[in-house]
Amino acid sequence: MQDEPDETAQESREKEMGAESEKSREVILMEQTLVIIKPDAMNRDLAGRVLSRFEEKGLKIVAMKMELLQPPKLKEHYAHLKEKPFYNEIIKYMSSIPSILVVLEGKQAVEVVRKMTGPTQGRDAPSGTIRGDFSMSNQSNLVHASDSIETAKNEIERFFKKEEIHEYVKMNFEWIYSSEEKLKK
């Protein structure tokens, strides 16, 4: 029987980094937020570009699926807009073709994603934001993003089952947050 080779220094460091990442993950208070990549982004072939912005920022995708959203669920989701003149139109628009639903995780994820998406009105959104770079509309503004931690929690529960949300250690986690940030709750 041949002896197993000793682990290399690289393998040892990777194990150590994984353990550090897992330990750090427990210390950092992570938020989750919901993003819906809307029908206009899907029709304009912008889904990948939108998603890559969040990944490049350092947010972690913990759940993602494509779904043709049904009016009953959309009516619940947009209940706060029921009295608005565009309510029926937004339900029709959002149920016209599939959207991509994504749960992103990171430190202050809700605030970070809101800044990245820009104001609702695409014409008013600054360049560099998703809407500022790709949208000219108030409704066809590419993405929905949760507006608060509480809203994010409710929206994630509305669109995802618990078993659809995954916990894992990203290999680049150590490069996204400083040591000091990892210790702050």
Using an 8 Å Cβ cutoff, are 36 and 143 in contact? yes
Task: Please give the positions annotated as active site.
Answer: 144
Q: What is the dihedral of CA 25, 177, 156, 111, to 10 degrees?
A: 150
Using an 8 Å Cβ cutoff, are 64 and 100 in contact? yes
3-state secondary structure of 64: strand
Tokens of residue 168, six digits: 């894992």
